[in-house]
Amino acid sequence: MTHKKAMLIDISLCVGCNACQAGCKEENGLPPNEEKYLSLTAYTALSKYNDLYVRRMCQHCDVPTCVSVCPVGALTKSGVGPVSYDGEKCIGCRYCLQACPFHVPKYEWSSTKPSIRKCKFCPNRLAKGRPTACAEACPTGATKFGDRDELLIEAARRINAEPGKYVTRIYGEQDVGGTSMLYLSPVPFEELGFDSRLGKIPMPMLTMSALSKVPNVLSVGGVLLAGIWWITNRRTEVQAHESALKQGKTQPQEDDE
Ligand code: SF4
Ligand code: SF4
Ligand code: SF4
């Protein structure tokens, strides 16, 4: 049985020490300087709203829009939770940047072999039964790692135990169909920059629903995606063939179209 993992971020407990970003940077071999915004070298960052701190990072959506728009399967969702990225498959179309409702993925614009960068949800740690590096680093329990079902129970328990302390909402429980990052807040989420207009329906389903009302769009879209896949696949085949030629492992093809 798969236990879907998640993190519960209790904004009321965060003291803004930035240990989560430091732990993440150490885990991922990123430069240790403190950063205020998500970037190629900051997979998580703290935003400040008056006296409250909010962690931003990939939400690892249950039905991720980034995965649904990637034409080559470079982004994938694991049953345990992480949305992973394979730079070898990526063709740099940057559809994922446009599609993410939380504006998370960053792109290496200046690199000759650019990749997408974002929080990875520490998959190597999860595979060993360990917590994420940011949760392990948090000294106050503001970020807690665990099974998503259990964290939802814990979040509801905290709201019920101290009804005056929290708004009665767990952000991420159902937003965009549910996410692996769950938040508790002492003030309405809109005041902290959360987008509460995203709704409960996963974005890929909204897109498919809208497209299905436009005649021929689905079939045209399918053909387009198939075309992108063919070009990508063909490019890989040609590269492999040229490489084999250089190494004298094969004969030149007479008609390579
Ligand atoms: S937050 Fe954005 S990048 Fe992360 S899984 Fe969701 S859609 Fe993808
Ligand atoms: S889950 Fe891992 S990669 Fe994501 S912010 Fe936390 S430490 Fe960084
Ligand atoms: S380590 Fe914990 S308390 Fe410190 S900033 Fe991160 S989430 Fe907040």
Per residue in 148-178, pLDDT tens? 999 999 999 999 999 899 999 999 999 999 9
Distance CA 236, CA 120 (A): 26
Pairing of strands 5-10, 181-184: parallel
Its pTM surpasses 0.85: no
Average pLDDT value for residue range 235-253: 48
Nearest CA to ligand 2 atom 8: 24
CB 151 within 8 A of CB 9: no
Whether 214 shows a pLDDT value over 70: the answer reads no
Cβ(145) to ligand 2 under 6 A?
A: no
By the 8 A CB rule, do 89 and 74 touch?
Answer: yes
Asked whether the predicted pLDDT for residue 105 surpasses 80, the reply is yes
pLDDT for 53 equals: 98
Residue keyed to tokens 């740690």:
125
pLDDT band at 257 (very low <50, low <70, confident <90, very high): very low
Query: What ligand is nearest to the CA atom of residue 60?
Result: 1
State how far the Cα of 100 lies from the Cα of 87, in Å rounded to an integer.
Answer: 18
| Residue 94 φ/ψ region, left for φ over 0, alpha for ψ in the -120 to 50 degree band, beta for the rest | left
Give dist(CA 139, CA 151) in Å, integer. 18
Q: Which of 38, 59, 115, 201 to mutate to test the pocket of ligand 1 (most atoms within 8 A of CB)?
A: 59
Distance from Cα 230 to the centre of ligand 1, integer Å: 26
Compute how many other C-beta atoms are within 10 angstroms of the C-beta atom of residue 59: 25
Q: Which ligand is nearest to the CA of 14?
A: 3
Report CA(119)–ligand 2 centroid distance (Å): 5
- Residue 212 C-alpha to ligand 1 middle, in angstroms? 23
Distance of CA 252 to the CA centre of its chain: 43
- Tokens standing for residue 7: 């993190």
Residue-wise pLDDT tens digits, 90-104: 999 999 999 999 999
**Predicted pLDDT of residue 22:** 98
Query: What pLDDT was estimated at residue 206?
Result: 65
Q: Which residues contact 124 (CB under 8 A, 6 or more apart)?
A: none
Answer whether residue 238 shows pLDDT above 50: no
Residue-level pLDDT at 219:
44
- Reply yes or no on whether the pLDDT at 255 is more than 90: no
Average pLDDT over residues 40-45: 98
pLDDT of residue 199: 84
Tally Cβ neighbours within 10 Å of residue 208.
14
pLDDT at 218: 44
Mean pLDDT of 219-230: 46
Q: Nearest residue CA, atom 3 of ligand 3? A: 14
| pLDDT at residue 234, as a whole number | 42
Contacts of 153 (CB under 8 A, 6+ apart): none
Span from the CA of 150 to the centroid of ligand 2 (angstroms): 20
What percent of the chain shows pLDDT beyond 90? 72
Higher-confidence residue: 181 or 213? 181
User: What does the mean pLDDT of the chain come to?
Assistant: 86
**Which ligand is the nearest neighbour of the Cα of 133?**
2
